[in-house]
Amino acid sequence: MARPHIEPFVDRDADYKKMTLPGFGTGMHYKMLSFDTDTGACTMNVRFDSGYKRSPGFSHSEIEMFVLKGSLKFGKQTYIEGHYFVIPPGVFMPALSASKGAEVLLMYNGSEPSHTESDADHDGADRSRLAEVNSYSGMPWITPNIHPGTNTGCLMKILKFDERTHALSFLFVMAPEFWQDNISYHDCAEEVYHIWGTTWMMQFGYLPTGGYFWRPPYINHGAFHCKRGAIAFGRTDSELHNHFHFNPWSNVKENEERAVSRLQHRNPEVYKWALGHNHNHPDPADFEYPDDHSH
Partner 1 sequence: MDKVGIKHKRDDKVKAWMKKETAEQKKRYQVIVAHMDAIASQRDKWVANFLKRIQKRGFNTDRDVFKIIKPEEIPIQPKRKFKVSF
Span interacting with partner 1, options 96-104, 247-255, 263-271, 276-284, rule CB under 8 A: 247-255
Does residue 7 interact with partner 1 by CB under 8 A?
yes
Q: Is 169 in the site for partner 1 (CB under 8 A)?
A: no
Specify whether the CB–CB gap between 123 and 58 falls below 8 A.
no
Cα 220 to the center of its chain, rounded Å: 19
Task: Rank residues 45 and 180 by Cβ distance to partner 1 and give the closer one.
Answer: 180
Work out the number of other CB atoms within 10 angstroms of the CB of residue 283. 9
- Applying CB under 8 A, does 176 fall inside the site for partner 1? no
Report residue 38 CA to chain centroid gap.
18
Stretch that binds partner 1, among 37-45, 47-55, 97-105, 228-236 (CB under 8 A): 37-45
Say how far apart CA 242 and CA 200 lie, in whole Å: 18
One residue of 16, 25, 27, 40 binding partner 1 per CB under 8 A = 40
Quick one: 121 or 132, whose CB is closer to partner 1?
121
Contact by Cβ (8 Å): 232, 195? yes
Please report how close the Cβ of residue 160 comes to partner 1 at its closest, in angstroms.
12
Distances (CA, A) of 144 to 95, 151, 189: 37, 10, 18
223: cis peptide before it, omega within 30°?
yes
The contact pattern for partner 1, residues 81-120, with x = CB under 8 A and - = no contact, is -------xxx------------------xxxx-x------
Q: What CA–CA distance (Å, rounded) separates 295 from 289?
A: 13
Q: Which lies closer to partner 1 via its Cβ, residue 6 or residue 231?
A: 6
- Count of beta carbons in the 10 Å neighbourhood of residue 295: 7
Residue 137 C-beta: closest distance to partner 1, Å: 28
Q: Between 76 and 265, whose beta carbon lies closer to partner 1?
A: 265
Q: In terms of Cα–Cα distance, which of 101, 104, 36, 13 is closest to 67? A: 104
Residue ranges in contact with partner 1 by CB under 8 A: 3-9, 20-22, 32, 34-35, 37, 39-42, 60-62, 88-90, 109-112, 114, 122, 124-126, 147-152, 180-182, 202-205, 216, 219-220, 223, 244, 246-252
